[in-house]
A and B are shown apart, each in its own frame.
Chain A
Amino acid sequence: MALSREDVKHVASLVRIAVTDAEVEVLQHQLSNTLEQFESLKELNTDAVQPTSHAVPLSSVMREDKSRDPMPKQDVLKNAPMIEGDFIRVRVVLEES
């Protein structure tokens, strides 16, 4: 399974990572190469097999709905790159169309 340049650019936009043209070329080759390794799975018939998402069988884990102290405000803001007062500052969200 070979990826096209457009495939690579599309995936990069989905995961919100900026890529240069030179990187697209390298990634095209490396990702295609890796996908090729996946082809062998087609040898196995899995029509009647249930998927495993976790190795340990899990059902919903419930706990009592008790309130706990929230994280202090200064802790929440401690690692934010830009803050203003008690808020995390973000860049322009609304753009002119």
Chain B
Amino acid sequence: MPELHDLTIHEAHDLLRTKKVSSVELTRAVLERIRKVEPRVRAFVTVTEEQALQDAHAADQRIVRGDIAPLTGIPMQLKDVLNTKDIRTTCSSKMLEDYVPVYDATVVTKLKTQSPVLLGKGNMDEFAMGSSTENSAFHPTHNPWDLTRVPGGSSGGSAAAVAAGEAFFSLGSDTGGSIRQPAALCGVTGIKPTYGRVSRYGLIAFASSLDQIGPLTKDVEDCAMVLSAIAGHDTNDSTSISNTVPDYRKSLTQDVRGLRLGVPKEYFGEGFEPGVEQAVHKAIDTFRHLGAQVEECSLPLTKYGLPVYYIIAPSECSANLARFDGVKYGHQYKGQGTMWDVMEMSRREGFGPEVRRRIMLGSYALSAGYYDAYYLKAMKVRTLIRQEFEEAFKRYDAIITPTTPSIAFKLGEKTADPVAMYKSDICTIPINIAGIPCISIPCGFSDGMPVGMQVMSKALGEETIFRVAHAYQQATDWHKRRATL
């Protein structure tokens, strides 16, 4: 039998339900794992050991009464961008180093109805801006498959924790790939749901028209279980969708016969590592063997995703982060000066270089004389990209691409060149611009490092995605490989 920390949620749930193991035992095993590997991985900003044991006792009492939900007693981590009442929530920023929320994010409230176990908060790129978790104001996170490499970002702490067996699942947020890119680089499964499927209330905002919360897990079945728990309409988020949430586990058939899968040629070729392409091509062959109709297609606007994103996201961030003025909450400059001096110094000290850079970039793109050339132009191209996907999904049930152009890069390799860092998200960004759902699942290895593949579908097509991704995982065992630590 594998060690407890290596189990999936559904495996652990079966042990809890049949009372072969208690939540306290499960939680102690994971806390022990954290003690053992966390000094090397550093996936957490805060470990809430006491809270975890309290939660586990409460879950066990519930289970004894015969009242067990899919996530009852399951130890989890939450990205530190999600507000947790009375538990420090930092966004991995000096600005919020001492911030203790007075309310829970809606996803946290929803999870709590099932009595999971909170292990702590996940490290991330500051304010979710970055692709390597090196922009954390506290410490970088290391890839469990090779500690000299990045875990990806911005939800790098979430992906690394799940890959290292430090949590059964984590919630991340995805604005331009921040769930899928680290999931791919750490060899785990992560979904960005349809924009509006999950409430953003209590998610510290980066770019509000793109942000979406989603789970990072060890396999597709776990992913379906967690998404079922957190999705749904919320009166506190006026952009949330009111459609009923299906039980996503019901979509986990193993049958993809007759499904039409498109493979866009723009996601291969120049700039893509051969090892990544080979793994994805092999996965595509697997789908053919499973009876899917696979066809090459073209999404010619793909290359415009990056510029559109780096206009829209910084523009929205410059407005969202205007609230951090060092007055009501957050870091405050301790020196002397007028109100303006103190505000300018508080923001300078509180924000790291990438956050300051993006605020300035966005403000410039929105400023008088440039609004039409940058922001308005980007919103118009956004329409074209959205329409291109809509057209494609008239022909295909799902589209398959690599998640990243390369395997995890070395720590420090791209920190000096923002544009090089931005380009690691070229496969994930167009999906946020279109607002459609997309999962990343492990599909092989290159140089000993995991490779990820994206499966995307039309808006609210999560069930199709889970069906396709689950069928693949039933035919392969990449998702069962664990990093040796």
Contacts and interface: CB of A to CB of B under 8 A. Distances in A.
A57 B433 CA distance: 13
A22 interface: no
Given A34-B419, A75-B102, A51 B310 contact: no
B102 A52 contact: no
Given A15-B360, A52-B386, 6 more contacts: A11-B364, A12-B360, A16-B343, A54-B195, A55-B209, A56-B196
Contacts of A92: 338-339
Contact of B306 (A12, A19, A27, A37): A37
Given A44-B381, A55-B386, A19 B330 contact: no
Nearest to B318: A15
Interface string B109-120: 000000000000
Interface string A64-97: 0000000100010011111000001011110100
11 contacts: A17-B359, A18-B347, A37-B306, A38-B307, A38-B310, A42-B377, A55-B434, A56-B194, A56-B435, A79-B328, A81-B332
Interface of B: 98-100, 102, 194-196, 209, 235, 238-239, 241, 301, 303-304, 306-308, 310-311, 318, 322, 325-332, 337-345, 347-348, 351, 356-357, 359-361, 363-364, 367, 374, 376-384, 386, 418-419, 422, 433-436, 459
Contacts of B367: 11, 14
Interface string A32-48: 01110110111010100
A71 B328 CA distance: 14
A18 to B, nearest CB: 4
B360 A80 contact: no
Contacts of A19: 348
B9 to A, nearest CB: 29
Nearest to A17: B347
A79 B418 CA distance: 33
